[in-house]
Amino acid sequence: MQLLINQILEKVKQNKKYRTISDEIVLDEIQNYLKKNPNESVNDLMIKSIRKNLHRLYSSYSRGKKHKKNKLLEELRKNQNDLEIIKKILGTVVSAKERLYEYEKIYSEIFKITGKPATILDLGCGLNPISFPFMNLKKLDYYAYDIDEEDIQFLNEYFKLMKSKGLNGRAQILNVRDFEKISKLPSSDLIFLLKIIDLIDINNHKSSEELIKILIKKTRFIVASFATRTISGKPMNLPRRRGFEFMLKRIGLKFETFSIKNEVFYVISK
C-alpha cells in the first residue's frame, strides 16, 4: 500500500504545477481517492482526478514567479521602507494584486472594529503577510500558514528582513482542514481566513462551521473574506454568502461586513 501511495505521489508531482505543494496535502487527496476507489493500481485517470482536486484548492492562486519574487526580495533587503517593492511582490499573485490599492483601507476598516492587534494568525495566507506595511502597526506577531513550501520559505525570508520594522513573523505548512492541528494553534487577537472558505466548503458550510467553532475559542475576532466577482468579472455565489451568514447566526456569532471592489469581508466575533 505504502509503495502504491509513494508511486501516486511521485506521479502527481511530476507536473510542475504541483511540485511545491506540501506532500501532506497531496497524500490527503490520495487517501480520499483510494477510499472511494480501492484496489486500483496507478493509472492516468486516477492521477487526473487527484490533480483536479488539488487544482481547485491550490492552483486558483497563480504562482510560478519565483525568480521575480526573489529578485524583489533582494531589492527590499536594501530598502525595507520601499512600498513600491512590497506592491510589486503582492502584484505577483491574483488575490493580493486585486487589493493592492485598497490594502490600507481594508486594514483600517478591520482595525476600526477590532482595535489594533498585537498578534495575527493567517490561515491559507498565500502572500498576504507581505502586506504588513499597510497595516501601519509598530509591532506585530504574525503567524502565517499555507500548503505551499515555496511560499512558506519566501515568507520566512521576508519575516527575517522585516524584523527591524517590528514584524515578528513565522510561516509554516498547515492544512486548514486538519482540525486536530488547528485546535492546537496559539491564541491571537485576530485570525484571517481570506478567500479560503470557498476552497474548504464544497457543498455546504459544514467544514467552515467546524473550523470557525474551533477558531473562535482562540481569538476575539475572525476576519473571513470572499471574492464577489469571478476573474472574468461576473458576480458570483451570493446564495452561498447568505448561507454563510445564516450559519454564523445559527452558531451564535455576530458579524459586521464591508466590501471593496471584488471582495466582501466579514469581521466575526462572539
Ligand X SMILES: C[S@@+](CC[C@H](N)C(=O)[O-])C[C@H]1O[C@@H](n2cnc3c(N)ncnc32)[C@H](O)[C@@H]1O
Q: What is the CA radius of gyration of the chain?
A: 19
CB half-sphere exposure, 64, CA atoms < 13 A = 10
Q: Does 176 bind ligand X (CB under 6 A)?
A: yes
CA atoms of 236 and 268, how far apart (whole Å): 22
**Stretch of 142-150, 153-161, 164-172, 203-211 lying at the interface with ligand X (CB under 6 A):** 142-150
Q: Does 146 bind ligand X (CB under 6 A)?
A: yes
CA atoms of 10 and 21, how far apart (whole Å): 12
Q: Does 169 bind ligand X (CB under 6 A)?
A: no
Instruction: Look up residue 133 and give its three cell numbers.
Output: 506595511
Q: Give min distance, CB of 61 to ligand X, in A.
A: 4
Question: Dihedral of CA 68/195/173/160: which sign?
Answer: positive
Question: Per DSSP, what are the bridge partners of residue 144?
Answer: 122, 171
**Pairing mode, if any, of strands 219-227 and 188-194?**
parallel
CA atoms of 180 and 168, how far apart (whole Å): 25
Number of residues that bind ligand X (CB under 6 A): 20
**Stretch of 141-149, 154-162, 240-248, 249-257 lying at the interface with ligand X (CB under 6 A):** 141-149
Q: Does 128 bind ligand X (CB under 6 A)?
A: yes
Q: Does 195 bind ligand X (CB under 6 A)?
A: yes
Q: Does 228 bind ligand X (CB under 6 A)?
A: no
Instruction: Look up residue 155 and give its three cell numbers.
Output: 515568507
Q: Does 129 bind ligand X (CB under 6 A)?
A: no
Using Cβ positions, the residue closest to ligand X within the complex turns out to be 126
Q: Give min distance, CB of 229 to ligand X, in A.
A: 13
For ligand X, the closer CB: 46 or 125:
125
**Interaction site with ligand X (CB under 6 A):** 57-58, 60-61, 95-96, 124-126, 128, 146-148, 175-177, 194-196, 199
